[in-house]
Structure 1
Amino acid sequence: MAARPAKSVRIGVDVGGTNTDAVAIDPSQQHTPSRGVLAHHKSPTTADVTAGIETAVRTVLEKSELPSASIASVTIGTTHFINAVIEQDARRLRRVAIIRLSKSFLREVPPFSEFPPGLTSIIKGYVGYVDGGLHIDGSEEAPIKEEQVVERCAEIKKLGLSAIVVVGAFSPIDEDFKQEERVRDIVQREIPHADVIVSHEVANIGLIERENASILNASILRYAKRTVKGFRRAMKALKLSCPLFLTQNDGTLLDSAAAAKIPIRTFSSGPTNSMRGAAYLTGHETEKSSAIVVDIGGTTSDVGVLLPSGLPRQASAYVSVAGVRVNYSMPSLHSIGLGGGSIVRESDGKVTVGPDSVGHYLTRDALVFGGKVTTSSDIAVAAGKAEMGDSKAVASLAPSLVEQAQQRIRSLLEGAVDIIKTSPEPLPVLLVGGGAILAPESLNGASELKLPPYHDVANAVGAAISKVGGIVDIIQGVADQSVTQAVDRAKEMAIQRAVDAGAIRDSVIIAEVETYPVSYVANQLRTIVKAVGELDINMQPEQLDDEEADDPDQEPEAAKDFAVKVVDEPPVDVMKYTPTIARSKETDILEWDITETDINFLADGCYVLGCAGGGSPAASRIQLRDMLRAGHKMKVIDAASLTKDAVIYWGGHMGSPATSNERLQSLETVHAFNALMEYLHQDSFDAVMGLEIGGANGLEPFLCGSSRFFDRPVIDGDWMGRAYPTYWQTTIAVHAPGELVPCAIDSGDGKTIIMTKASNDEIVDRALRASCSEMGSRVGKAAKPTTTQRVRDFGVLNTVSLAWRIGRCIAQAEATNTLSTVAEAIVHEVGGEKSAKILFRGKIVDVERRLFKGHSYGSITVAALSTDEEEEASSKRIPSVVTTGTIRIPFKNENIYAEHTAEDGTKQIIASVPDLICVLDSASGRSLGVPEFKYGYRVTVLGITCSPRWSDTEAGLKIGGPGAFCYNDITYKALGEYVEPRSVIEEFAPK
């Protein structure tokens, strides 16, 4: 009797929008000329995806003459699930109920706040709240109350909903209380047939994004189960008894049972499979070094970076799927409009390639296939680089056209490669995809080009050879353990998770480690670790019960509904929008009535003025937007409109922006105002002013001043003109010391502290910050009420107007496709080149973060862009202060100074606090805060001259200059002349 063949062969399948690819591969033969590929098959994707997979797998089994017993695994990469969400396919999406866990928070920014309206109309089913939630240090905000959960379940049952998401504040770090699991157990007891998703199993820290991912996951869950069962049945028809896996977005495997529970993790695995397949087919996987992968398809080319771990470099913290922000792992890609079907044109002697394409009509429209459109594939045939169709059909193409088109293709690829790189050193470039033949033989920025065999089925190869991973994202205290011990513990957890998922323990390596000291929270460290290992083919993962009946109440899938989807209101024309200024009937002063458009402008402008700090205004923007939609009013007045005896309250948030990622925007500042009013025996006040215009605190006055709460106007000004780390770094502390107390802080969940006296202003901040740490690491603050005279004499005026103008610049640049000159527009708005300067343009090539005495410090290094990246620069661009070399920007939540290092090594400080140093994302025009600093981002560094309230006095420079951050060797030199922003009220007042 012949020996039973060893299970060494893996089958990989990639289901794309155009083709379904399948390969049979024996990884033990990787170093042979065939790379272990025993058979491969490419066929058009069918409407019935399962039938298409079955056909593709049957074909490779027949071609390779492999017995089914020799197959170790089948791995499928598919866009099946994400397409249902993108297309808003109501047949395949369920309504979802959400239960949020927090006693005192999470009410102000509800679920679905930023979902597209069409998607919301299909899947929003119910939102309920129960006591629970954690603080940032892992302590319990409130215990779960079972009776509340039971009540929510009764409400959900009445609505007939069976997809339920449970999301609790800081649940990813809940190791002790297991709140989400406990609520899940209660829900499953009360609603036995429900699918219950706990958010911490879907994504990491960042409540809105984690909840969004969980909602999408729950909505698609039933369809995913049905689809995975179909995959399993196809395997059974092929007599395959091996495990079935699906590929995840990060390049690792998910067993079929897990994929049916968390299908969102498979949403965007295609590009990752391509990159992993490229590394395997070229043999680069064994080199343990970075490489760039260029996947050239029919319409686009996707460019990404493979890390030494063999996994793709991941995108920034938050990505968008079908218009919804989520925070699960996604590969960082740069896509350009270059593919085999790209249309080639010649006009005025200039040749262009793409970005438009004939796409899947290549075999009908290209010249070599008898068509009338010149495509990049025709150029490849004419240049003798490819054989397809009838080469005689391109014989008449002018040699100059062919040469110029090839040069344009080279230029496009070189630009894409340079953008995705994080350093100027050349890297190997691996070419895959059906259009890989378009690439030239060499590229600037590439140490070598590799075009492997089977490059056109690299996606399926990547699926077949995927590894097993384990990820940990945890916040730990480092008071009683060292940073090294905390990181080692996270590594051990990640390794164990990889083993539990099916990795061979001895093969597991740590692929990625990131540590982030938590800003303004003493001795708290966030650590993200990814471990990966080889699949244990002897392991039998959990599998779905293929024979299990589908939901008894589930109707057969109907034909696809092509009816018009719900669409959003048409956007406001930001080029024509003017704010509403009217004279108050009660006070006879001019008031600016704030609209939703104004809030959008202000949010973007405030983040720019935050100088990378102050926390993201995103949640505040949603809160205020919803209040306006509910009919509440917000007004702004000029400081000149204040009466002489006016009482002015001011304040904002204190604490860690990291807390806001989970607790979202709440009412702590309102509670603090009430507490201080009670202490001072005041029942009202006349106006409200912001502590700082930078970041989320720039919007906080609108909450307190709204008609929902105190119904008082917001003064067009603040006490910083930017953002600073501490309460005492304010212009009132500079010019009127001792005016910070009495003040109040409130935690938002029942804890209030009033500080009545202090020996100096700095101790006020230190004492309150220590209390803040014990109160959940974020509080609302109400400062000592001030007077009209102090506002006029010591405040930084018209900064609400300035934030609005900067935000309008960004919105108008977005609307007119002029983001390349958004920095120039901002320079104009803040007073022109005598007041503001573009310091540098480049890309972030290094990010450093560290913990020192309980605070988060760090720096970014920005390197100059290459000439190729600048080729489309607008003639309207203002020259930057420096154009070559690098600049380094240290930060303590806010950017402190910008130091230029020339190519000859010479260093100079080109800007420093108290002047504003703002880092803009060149792609979106928006500000990058410290949490968003990421390798590879193209940025524009902007410098803005500070108010003379800071720079004209020794006290101002002592409190707000470089010395305040322990950089005593740096002497402040003004960037330019300060120009007071023009009042919006003054400009747009009725004549």
Structure 2
Amino acid sequence: MTVPMRRPHLRIGVDVGGTNTDGVILNPEKSSDPDRGLVAWKKASTTKNPSDGIFNVIQEMFEQPNVDAQDVASVTIGTTHFINAVVEMDRSRLAKVAVIRLCGPFSKDIPVGIDWPPRLRSIICAYRGLVDGGLEIDGSLIEELDEDALRRECEIIKSQGIKSIVVVGIFSPIDVVYRQEERAASIIREAYPEADVVLSKEVANIGFLERENAAVLNASILAFARYTIHSFQEAISRLGLRCPVFVTQNDGTILPASSAARLPIRTFSSGPTNSMRGAAFLTQDLKNSQGEAMMVVDIGGTTTDVGLLLPNGFPRQAAAYSEIAGVRTNFSYPDVKSIGLGGGSIVRRGKDGQLTIGPDSVGYLIQEKALAFGGTVPTTTDYTVLDQPALGIGDLSLLEDANIAADLPEFKAKVKAMLERIIDSMKTSPSDIPVVLVGGGAVIAPDRLIGASRVIKPNWSGVANAIGAATARVSGVIDSIASTESRSVAQVIEEVSQSAIDKAVADGAERSTVTIAEIESFPLQYIANKSRVVVKAVGDFDYSRADLLNCAAPVDGDSILRTQDIDMVEFVRDSIHSELPDDSVPVVDKPMVMTAEYIDNYKPNVANRQWLLSETDLDWITTGCYILGTGGGGSPYQHMLRLRELLRAGATVRIVSPWDLRDDDIVACGGGKGSPQVSIEKPYGNEILESQTELYDYLKVKPTAVISLEVGGGNGLQGLILGASANMDIPTVDGDWMGRAYPVSHQTTPVVYETRATMIPSCIADGNGKVLLMTRARTELDAERAFRAALSTMGSHVGCAKGPVRGADARRWVVENTVSLAWRIGRAVARARAANRVDAVAESIVEEVGGARSARVLFRGKIVGVERATKMGHAYGEVTIESTEERSTHEGKTAGTADRLVIPFKNENIYAKKISACGEEEVSMATYHLSSEQILAIVPDLVCVIDALSGEAIGTQEYRYGLLVVAIGIAASEKWTSTQRGIDIGGPKGFGFDDLEYVPLGRFTKPKSVIDEFDRVV
């Protein structure tokens, strides 16, 4: 009789933290049982060599009854090992990286690591090569791949001894036809077989600079990652296990160990995610599974991490961009806030007599240094043990001798207040929310917290992170730009969803378990019948797939290590047993912190009526420009980087008052025109300056000053960039033609004052050989329509040079001092951050633009809906914000339904309409239309939406569900509101809302000039 082979069914999860290494063995077939299928668990101090800690934890779990190694189906490991190497800027574990861009004429002025911390940039970013290649947003070629140039770049890189190479092509994530990155990698491997080659499209999605940054970080730690993953596999092999080894990644799903060795950056934020996924598993029988969000508070040895667990069981994600060690990337990270409160946090009295907790911690040395273990350092664990002797931790008598009992009430109140404050900052509404406490330090938290509908401390919460690792699933993400010309958006989403499901299956998911977890879809401005669609599918790993089990622990010398990893192996092995020499001790960059004192004492450099820009000025102007963009104009971030590089290279940026212009001055004007989605992926080239050069070569004159077309968004910095360029070297006027951002360039003040075309001739250039010069037009609207029609054939983004105007006309038409206004708004945001008062940043902005008579806070809330469509090249849509402020009923209770604010937009926000809820406990969506409605602000007045957590502007393309925001209304310049023509062009009729009338928000206050305030004679 043949005995049937026993099917492995147990899953091991291990999470390696800075203080503890936690492990669990789970039987997923019994996850609904009272014990959640938990077969064994172990918590131990993290070892210097993490693989030793993993081995020890699993080995000790195997010593428990009813555990057989033959029943183990998989081991999943979560680790902060890789991100620590980057955060610590450990030169010994970070390789130098060369980048080859497939970019045609674009990005030549952008160094690799342009926005990195200087020390990290010097360690990693070693070389940049530019090769013809890249795609436009519609999938057409910018240039054919120049294979000969690519081979020449390989020789240069090889001669410099660089063995890590990143290939990044413009719009490569949508390149399914030419496959330029793949072809480039094949050529590089032929020419330089010893090198590691990383394709940017395999690392991250659309967003060129951020994707390049992520790919460079990934390439830098490849050798170290291979060694680390190999050591993990060796530990599993020593335990006699022959099962797949996985590593958890940032979004709560898993990567096979071999894939993690290629893409270690995807594991950087797995720690907090593991804890949140573990919390979801441990609370699966509660309301969370029926549609209730929960706040997860993970208290470790050093920090407390707090994040919102959505009803789908995954963490709420942060904004589109995340920073890793000061490097901006486009990974979707869990939205987690941390404070210095943990089980090992040091408790002391400050000089002011107040009890302080953390942020420093004894960490994994707690059993040596804490009072309860015979040490000399008072920690939160000591106070907790004193308060809860039944915990049985340490020696209670040692605490009684330490004389800390008198501080216990103050300690408990302090811990409670710290937790309540961070929970409140993460909530999306004022309503109470369930709070789940997990982590080894969860015992320090009280059983009741203000803002929590209930406090849940589930069994095995101390190893929730390991449980999250053991229960992690497989994902497939597709980020694509698709045509909707012959298909509906719904059909496109269905097709992309199927591709995401197929990708999840290809990565190891069992098809029958795969579901769609997230869908994002939005049309692209100025690009007909194109939408960007992002879909994420998740499912359980298919353990029947023999083709996927090759990620098992290495046997008989089989290894993911490469020859070039030997030096790394020897270094790491040596470092485990000895301290690093003094010259190898990682030194973390300490960037200049913009303190409240620095901000209050800062004075811009203004002399003899000229304002010379500094980097501080630039930071503040950038923030202010995006806020004044009223949701449009595109992010100024990339333009800020370019201008900052010019400053650092010695360029002088001069700003002058419009009132200092002479009558016969020739004032140039220019900026970018096209879809903001293009600028996210296609870096700037020379198109804006090229359009100016072509125009003035035609006119055979030289401008004496330059003014920005619009202060709002990215174009708000273009005047400064043009003025500082070596070709022009002229001052920039403190003002613009809009005082905000508008969708089209005929919505400008010169058009308000003149019916004829005043800025003709005009020129547009795509930076890739196409130039269009318009010498005649009856009106600015005619010119605008012609240029818009040409956009799609010129890459959907061009540089635009408007015809020059006389200084006398500039003084008559200008919306004055708008660069000063952007500076003041940015300074207000910086000051609010420095003082930890971002909650009041909206009020600070209101004060800067004239106070209550000129502006007001319109609404605070959470985005609960976004609709988008593209018409005539513009992004039309509507965002709905639900109030997070409590509203009282006649009985004194909070109403069951909150007020809402609806903001329609056409690239820019058009108006803000408040819809008051009727106050009933149960109100349908239809009821909102019957409730009272009031337009709070309407164009040409400004409707600005800012992130409630940072004070930064949020563009219409960045609107998404769950963001906490504040809407602000600002009175428009009298250049728009003093005449009916101005109101017709810049008001609701200019956006197609003929049935709406402009009602002023308040009285315009002229911005105060920085030049007038700070000028000195030298």
Take 2:436 and 2:450, find their aligned partners in 1: how far apart are those partners?
14
Contact 1:603 1:807 in 2 (8 A): yes
Could you tell which deviates more after superposition, 186-195 or 913-922?
913-922
What displacement does 1:383 show? 6.5
Q: Which amino acid aligns with 1:782?
A: A
Identify which of 751, 772, 776 aligns with 1:733: 751
Q: What are the equivalent positions in structure 2 for 1:317-396 lying under 5 Å apart? A: 317-341=320-344, 354=357, 356=359, 358-360=361-363, 373=378, 375=380, 378=383, 382=387, 386=391, 388-389=393-394
Whether the 8 Å CA contact 1:351–1:404 is kept in 2: the answer is no
Contact kept? 1:316, 1:934, Cα under 8 Å: no
Of 809, 816, 829, the match for 1:790: 809
Q: CA, structure 1 residues 969+395, in 2 after alignment: closer, same or farther (shift >3 Å)?
A: farther
Aligned to 1:693: 711
**Number of the residue aligned with 1:547:** 558
Closer/same/farther in 2, CA of residues 43 and 810 from structure 1, 3 Å limit:
same
1:811–1:443 CA distance, 2 compared to 1 (3 A): closer
For 2:770 and 2:110, locate their aligned partners in 1 and report how far apart those are by CA, in whole Å.
Answer: 22
Match of 2:470 in 1: 464
* Corresponding residue to 2:914 among 900, 911, 928: 900
Q: After alignment, is 953-962 or 151-160 more displaced?
A: 953-962
User: Within 5 Å, which residues of 2 pair with 1:667-816?
Assistant: 667-679=686-698, 681-738=699-756, 739-816=758-835
Which AA in structure 2 matches 1:529?
V
Displacement after TM superposition at 1:44 (Å): 0.8
Contact 1:382 1:394 in 2 (8 A): no
Which whole-Å CA distance do the structure 2 matches of 1:439 and 1:885 have between them? Answer: 34
Query: Partner residue of 2:213?
Result: 212
Q: Distance in 2 between matches of 1:157 and 1:398?
A: 63
CA offsets 1:460-506 (integer angstroms, 9 cap, x no match)? 11111111110011111211221011111110110111001111111
Does the residue aligned with 1:785 lie in a helix, a strand or coil? strand
AA aligned opposite 2:500: A
Change in Cα spacing, 1:188 to 1:349, as seen in structure 2 (3 Å) is closer
Contact 1:275 1:304 in 2 (8 A): yes
CA contact (8 A) 2:657 2:1011 kept: yes
1:17-58 Cα distance to aligned partner (Å, 9 max, x none): 011111111111112222111111111111111111111111
Match for 1:609: what amino acid?
L
Partner of 2:483: 477
Alpha-carbon distance in 1 for matches of 2:351, 2:82: 46
Residue 945 (structure 1) shift: 1.5
Distance in 2, matches of 1:707 and 1:275, equals 50
Q: Secondary structure at the match of 1:661?
A: helix
Unaligned runs of 5+ in 2: 888-896, 919-930
Secondary structure (helix, strand or coil) at the match of 1:12 reads strand
1:721 Cα deviation from its structure 2 partner: 0.6
Deviations 1:273-315 (A, max 9, x none): 1111122223349935343222222343322233343322222
Separation in 1, partners of 2:12, 2:333: 24
Pair 154,372 (structure 1): closer, same or farther in 2 beyond 3 Å: closer
Does residue 311 of the first structure (1) align with residue 314 of the second (2)? yes
User: What SS is found at the alignment partner of 1:258?
Assistant: helix
2:511 pairs with one of 497, 505, 526: 505
Q: Contact 2:385–2:396 at 8 Å: present in 1 too?
A: no
What amino acid sits opposite 2:160 in the alignment? L
**What do the CA deviations read for 1:616-637 (whole angstroms, capped 9, x no partner)?**
1111111111112222222222
TM-aligned CA distance change 1:990 to 1:409, over 3 Å: closer
Distance in 1 (CA, whole Å) between partners of 2:713 and 2:640 is 11
Query: In the TM superposition, what whole-angstrom CA distance separates every residue of 1:379-421 from its partner, at most 9, and x where no partner exists?
Result: 5763688554466857999999867765665555455444434
1:986 aligned partner, one-letter code: D
Deviations 1:130-184 (A, max 9, x none): 0011111111111101101001001001001110000011111111110111100
The Cα shift of 1:507 comes to 0.9
Q: Does the 8 A contact of 1:633 with 1:708 survive in 2?
A: no
Cα distance 1:396–1:632, how it changes in 2: closer, same or farther (>3 A)? closer
Residues 282, 825 of structure 1: CA spacing in aligned structure 2 closer, same or farther, 3 A cutoff?
A: closer
- Cα distance per residue 1:949-973 (max 9 Å; x no partner): 1011111111111222233443322
The alpha-carbon deviation at position 598 of structure 1 amounts to: 2.6
Deviations 1:680-699 (A, max 9, x none): x3231221111001111011
RMSD value, Cα: 3.1
Which amino acid in the other structure matches residue 11 of structure 2? R
Is contact 2:348-2:378 (8 Å) kept? Answer: no
Matched, 1:916 2:942: yes
* Bigger Cα displacement from structure 2, 767-776 vs 917-926: 917-926
5+ unaligned residues in a row in structure 1: which ranges? 584-589, 869-882
How far apart, CA to CA, are the structure 2 residues paired with 1:592 and 1:947?
23
Say if 2:362 and 2:369, in contact at 8 Å, map to a contact too.
no
What is the CA-CA distance between 1:756 and the residue it aligns to? 3.3
1:559-574 equivalences under 5 Å are 559=575, 560-563=580-583, 565=587, 567=589, 573-574=598-599
Residue 74 of structure 1 deviates from its aligned partner by: 0.8
2:660 matches 1:627: no
Decide which of 290, 293, 298 is 1:295's aligned counterpart: 298
| Counterpart in the other structure of 2:91 | 90
What is the aligned partner in structure 2 of residue 255 from structure 1?
256
Rate the CA distance shift 1:105–1:740 in 2: closer, same or farther, 3 A.
same
Distance (whole Å) between structure 1 residues aligned to residue 341 and residue 915 of structure 2: 36
How far apart are residue 826 of structure 1 and its match?
Answer: 3.1
Q: Which residue of 1 aligns with 2:890?
A: none
Asked if the contact 1:118–1:567 (Cα under 8 Å) also holds between the matched residues in 2, the reply is yes
AA at the equivalent of 1:73: S
2:265 is matched with which residue?
264
Task: Report the Cα distance in structure 1 between the residues aligned to 2:779 and 2:605, rounded to whole angstroms.
Answer: 42
- TM-score, normalised on structure 1? 0.92
Secondary structure of 1:986 counterpart: helix
Q: What count of residue pairs does the alignment treat as equivalent?
A: 970
- Structure 1 position 804, deviation (Å): 2.1
Query: What does residue range 603-682 of structure 1 map to in structure 2 within 5 Å?
Result: 603-679=622-698, 681-682=699-700
Shift of 1:518: 1.7
- The separation in 1 between residues aligned to 2:390 and 2:958, in whole angstroms, is 43
Q: 1:887-938: per-residue Cα shift (whole Å, max 9, x none)?
A: 3333222222222234544332222211122223333332222233344444
Query: Match of 1:315, SS?
Result: coil
Other-structure match for 2:990 = 964
Give yes or no for contact 2:72–2:241 (8 Å, CA) kept in 1.
yes
Structure 2 residue matching 1:459: 3-state secondary structure: helix
- Which residue is equivalent to 1:931? 957
CA–CA distance in structure 2, aligned partners of residues 897 and 354 of structure 1: 47
* Residues 765 and 335 (structure 1), Cα distance of their counterparts in 2 relative to 1, 3 Å cut: same
Give yes or no for contact 2:518–2:537 (8 Å, CA) kept in 1: yes
Asked if structure 1 preserves the Cα contact closer than 8 Å seen for 2:945 and 2:967, the reply is yes
The aligned counterpart of 1:888 is: 902
What code does the residue aligned with 1:314 have?
A: Q
Cα distance change of structure 1 residues 29 and 291 upon mapping to structure 2, 3 Å threshold = same
1:201-237 CA-to-partner distances (Å, cap 9, x unmatched) read 0001111111111000000001111111111122221
Asked whether the equivalents of residues 24 and 64 of structure 1 are also in contact (C-alpha less than 8 Å), the reply is no
What residue number does 1:587 align with?
none
Moved more, 738-747 or 498-507: 738-747
- Alpha carbons 1:601, 1:811 under 8 Å: kept: yes
Using the TM superposition, name which of 474-483 and 299-308 deviates more: 299-308
- Larger displacement relative to structure 2 (811-820 or 832-841): 811-820
Distance 1:678 1:921, change over 3 A: same
Read off the aligned partner of 1:289 and give its amino acid letter.
G
Q: Any residues of structure 2 matched to 1:966-981 within 5 Å, and which?
A: 966-981=992-1007
CA distance in 2, matches of 1:357, 1:632: 43
Aligned to 1:494: 500
Distance 1:366 1:45 in 2: 17
CA offsets per residue over residues 485-542 of structure 1, 9 Å max, x none? 1111110110111001111111111111111222332221111100011111122424
